[in-house]
Amino acid sequence: MNEIFSRYLQSNRTLTEYFAHPLKADWNALSEEVMGQRRTFLTSELIRQNGEVQFERQKQHLAFLKQENTLLVVSGQQLGFLVSPLYVVFKALTAVALSARLNEDNRAFNYVPVFWLEGEDHDFDEVNHAYVFDRQNELKKIEVQASGERRTPVGRRSLPRNIKEVLSTLKASLQPSEFSGALFDLLASIYRPGENWLRCFKEHLQELLGPFGLLFFDPGAREVKEQSLPFFKRVLSENDALLQALRVQTAQIGRPQVPIQLERAYLFFRDRQDARQPILREGPNFRVYGEQSTLTLTQLLDRLSESPDRISASVLTRPLWQSWMLPVASYVAGPAEIAYWAQLKRAFKQFDISMPHLQPRFSATLIEPRIGRLLKKFDLRAEDVPQEAGSWIKAFFKQNDLKEMEKETARLKAQIAQSLELYRKLGKNIDPTLESVVEKTFSGIENNLQKMNDRLLRAFRQKNQKTVEQLTAIHHSFYPAGKPQERILSSVYFHNKFGLRWLKTIFDSIDLDDHSHKYVAL
C-alpha cells in the first residue's frame, strides 16, 4: 500500500494540500460546488450513449440525467478481455454502491453511477488476455493476438477472425457447470469476428452490471471530442501553466506515482497510421512524436480543429477532462490512482474545474466453497494467508505438528549459547588464540543442528504431501501467479461457476466505510 493512499484512508489532515475533499466528505457542499460551475456539461451526450438501456435501474438513472440536479459517481478502467481482471467489477460495483447511498442520504441531488470506457489507451498487451483456473486448477491464459499498428488505441481495434477458436479454448479449459451453456451462448453473441473491442467490452459489462443500474460513457466518440475541443485547446494554450502546476504539486509529494516529464504536453495525437503518439514540447513549439517538423501553437490548434477525434488525454489530463465534461461528484479509484490524483489539485485549480471526491474501490479475495472447506479443515483464517507461499507452509507445519521439535531446538540453542560463553572465557584464560577456535566449533554445532531440523522438516512434509497440496491450493486460489486474485483472475471464471449470483454477493459485501481488504465466501 502506497503512503499517499494509506494516509488518505486515515483522513490525514496533511493531505488537504493534495485533495479537494476528505474521504468523509460534506456531500451537500461538494455537490453544490460541482453544480455551481459556470459550464455546460456534456450530459446530453451521456444520455445519447445510454439511450437503449434495458434494465429498470438503468432507466431510472437515465431519467435522473434529464434533471438539472444530477451528479455522477464515475469509475473506469482499461478494456480487459472478457471483463478482466476482477477489480474492474469491484470498481464498478463500488460506484453503484456509493450512488445508492448518496441518493438515500442526500435528497437534494440525484447521483448516477457511470463507467468510463477507457478505450483510448494503446497498450494492447495489458488487455488482450484473461486468466482462469482450468479443470486441473492450473492458471490458464486465454489470449487474443494483436494485429496492425501496436500503438492503435484499444477502442479502435476489432476482434480477430479466430475469436471463436479463442472462446472454444476457454470453454475447453473451464470446468463445466450448470451455468456454462448460458455463459457461452452470451459470449458467442458478443464476441464475434470483426466486432469492435470497446463495444464487446461494454456489452459484456452491461450484461453483468446493467441490472445494478450502471451506465456507460465512451469518451472516444467523435461527438465527445468535437465538444471537448475548448478543453484540449486550453491545455495546449496554457501548457506552461499546466506543467508548472503539475511540477510544483508533484515536488511536494516526494515519491510521485507518475513522474513529471517536462518535454511532454500531456496530450496524445493519433497519426495517419492510427498510432497514438505523444505531443512533445520543443521550446515555444510542439511536435507529434514520429514527425520531423515542429508546429507552432496556432498550427497545432488548427490540426485539432480539423481532426478532433484524433486527440486524447494522458493519465494526468484525463481526470481534468472528465470533470470538465461531466458533473463528477466522486471518482472510484484504486490505491495507485489515488496516489497520482494527489498530483492534480493545482492543475484542477488552474483550469477552474471542481476536483471530485475520491472513493477507494472495494478490494477483496473471493473464497470458493472448496477453498472454504480447506480453511475450515486446517483451522486457518483467510486473512492470515500471506502472499509468499513457501514460508507460510513451512510455518504451518512448525506450528501444528513439530511443536516438540521446535521446543527442543530452542532449548538446545539456548544451552549452546550458554556453553559458548563458558568455553569462550575458558579459552581466553588458557590461550587467547583459542577464542576463535571455540566460536568456529560452536558455529558448526549450530549449523549442523539447523541442517538436522531442515531434514526433519523436509521428511515430514514428504510424509504429509496431501496436506502440502491442499495448503498450496488455498494459496494458489488467493494468489494466482503469486499476485492478488483480484488483479489476475477474470470475471468470466466466476460467471462460469456461479452464474450471476456472485455479483450480488459482492455488492452486498461492500462497506463504504471500511476500506480493509475483504474475504468473501461464495
> How do residues 192-238 score in pLDDT, each as one tens digit?
999 999 999 999 999 999 999 999 999 999 999 999 999 999 999 99
Q: How confident is the model at residue 402 (pLDDT cuts 50, 70, 90)?
A: low
> How do residues 159-198 score in pLDDT, each as one tens digit?
999 999 999 999 999 999 999 999 999 999 999 999 999 9
> How do residues 354-378 score in pLDDT, each as one tens digit?
999 999 999 999 999 999 999 999 9
As beta bridge partners, residue 280 has: 264, 287
In this predicted structure, the answer to whether residue 405 has a pLDDT above a threshold of 80 is no
Same domain? 103 vs 22: yes
The secondary element (H helix, E strand) that includes residue 100 is helix 86-105
Residue 198 and residue 159: Cα distance in Å, rounded? 10
Same domain? 221 vs 254: no
Determine, yes or no, domain membership for 181. Answer: no
Same domain? 393 vs 357: no
Q: How confident is the model at residue 411 (pLDDT cuts 50, 70, 90)?
A: confident
Same domain? 392 vs 269: no
Determine, yes or no, domain membership for 427. Answer: yes
**CATH number of the structural domain spanning residue 352:** 3.40.50
Determine, yes or no, domain membership for 373. Answer: no
pLDDT of residue 185: 98
Same domain? 425 vs 470: yes
Tell me which of 248-257, 422-431, 502-511 is least confident. 422-431
Same domain? 304 vs 330: no
Q: How many domains does the chain have?
A: 3
Full residue range of the structural domain in which residue 257 is found: 227-313
Same domain? 211 vs 71: yes
Same domain? 74 vs 221: yes
The secondary element (H helix, E strand) that includes residue 522 is none
Q: How confident is the model at residue 400 (pLDDT cuts 50, 70, 90)?
A: low
pLDDT of residue 39: 77
Which of 281, 297, 313 terminates a domain? The answer is 313
Q: Phi, psi (5° rounding) for residue 105?
A: -90, -25
pLDDT of residue 401: 58
Average pLDDT estimate for 32-52:
92
> How do residues 73-104 score in pLDDT, each as one tens digit?
999 999 999 999 999 999 999 999 999 999 99
Residue 489 and residue 82: Cα distance in Å, rounded? 10
C-alpha cell at 454: 531442515
* CB atoms near residue 59 (< 10 Å): 13
Same domain? 37 vs 108: yes
Determine, yes or no, domain membership for 520. Answer: no
C-alpha cell at 28: 451537500
In this predicted structure, the answer to whether residue 111 has a pLDDT above a threshold of 80 is yes
- The reported pTM is 0.88
Residue 125 DSSP label: G
Determine, yes or no, domain membership for 26. Answer: yes
* Alpha helix ranges (H) inside 382-511: 389-400, 403-430, 434-463, 465-478, 491-498, 501-509
Residue that has been written with the C-alpha cell 480477430 in this structure: 160
Same domain? 74 vs 219: yes
pLDDT of residue 505: 98
> How do residues 270-307 score in pLDDT, each as one tens digit?
999 999 999 999 999 999 999 999 999 999 999 999 99
HSE, CB side, 13 Å, CA atoms: give it for residue 395: 9
Q: Are 158 and 515 in contact (CB under 8 A)?
A: no
> How do residues 304-352 score in pLDDT, each as one tens digit?
999 999 999 999 999 999 999 999 999 999 999 999 999 999 999 999 9
In this predicted structure, the answer to whether residue 243 has a pLDDT above a threshold of 80 is yes
Same domain? 415 vs 344: no
Determine, yes or no, domain membership for 518. Answer: no
Same domain? 222 vs 339: yes
